[in-house]
Structure 1
């Protein structure tokens, strides 16, 4: 275990006669990478959340519930879960449409079923409630923002790793130059 002294805040930017130019560059690269990581993550996350929420609000505004009729009797199953069955409805342009919708088991042919359609009369899922939309937007924004923040974070780590390799190479060159001088004996 390494012996460590007390933690000193902002130690990378303090004056020190032993600090090299590479140490200063590394400190600024690290600060810049963290700042860009946070900025990109927050910006992309908020933009994604706003986009998702606007899209779900548009769906709530455009999609309408429609009364459809069951075309065939739904099988009566004992587990009580809703099942898919064929339904028919009239689109806004007056055409008759058919599709699959979830219904209660044992529903009779001709039973009324509420389905959701878009402006053209195509069958869609029920739109998200405002609370569900906020949750979906927050989760999407958080995931996309975190994913986008990985790019500058990894870029900063790569630059820092390159600086570290360069510093080790410089130490090796200095050791090769001065190491033999330390081995000389007087006599």
Structure 2
């Protein structure tokens, strides 16, 4: 793959040279410029993607610290059985069910619905996260989760921009190819029209 990219880039750079008597047309140079531009864009976007990943990591770690300060883990107790197995499900895979549950926080009992594996009996303990008021909260961000988010944002951002730019280059190249085909057709018709009949 790298050899193909290197070969296309080398060919594009050769086509961009303006040499007297060259058979390279203006459309060829434009296509070469698009190719070189795409490669340069990919290189320039690397530090931008790294910066975006670093910023995401910083934000996620700040959120993790805030959540570590605001959220607490408590044990809830389910009040009902959580259904049975899904029909046709793998023996090792249970479906999920929603059941009511209660938990205590600062001398007050709270009630809410929890998602648990199907078959969980009533009275089962379930670890959940709550905020300062005792309301149910999502699981806090971890350092590993922050790092994964940062890498995902950086890579996804770079790939998406390159896909859009690549699509633009592909459209531009297609238009240039159609233009060259029309030019070839006209020149061939002109040549055959000027050629003496046999």
**TM value normalised by structure 2:** 0.63
Distance 1:131 1:177, change over 3 A: same
Q: Which aligned pairs between 1:120-159 and structure 2 lie closer than 5 A?
A: 121-159=134-172
Distance 1:182 1:122, change over 3 A: farther
Tell me the matched-pair count.
175
Separation in 2, partners of 1:163, 1:147: 24
The superposition leaves residues 99-125 of structure 1 with CA deviations (integer Å, 9 ceiling, x where unpaired) of 23467956747x6x5421245543123
Q: Is the 8 A contact 1:41 1:145 kept in 2?
A: yes
Separation in 2, partners of 1:69, 1:172: 77
Unpaired runs of at least 5, structure 2: 1-6, 85-91
State whether structure 2 residue 30 is matched by structure 1 residue 34: no
SS of residue paired to 2:140? coil
Distance 1:145 1:122, change over 3 A: farther
Moved more, 118-127 or 19-28: 118-127
Deviation at 1:155, TM superposition (A): 0.8
Q: Is the 8 A contact 2:128 2:136 kept in 1?
A: yes
Larger RCO, structure (CA 8 Å, separation 6 or more):
1
State whether structure 2 residue 23 is matched by structure 1 residue 18: yes
**TM value normalised by structure 1:** 0.66
Unpaired runs of at least 5, structure 1: 1-6
Deviation at 1:27, TM superposition (A): 1.0
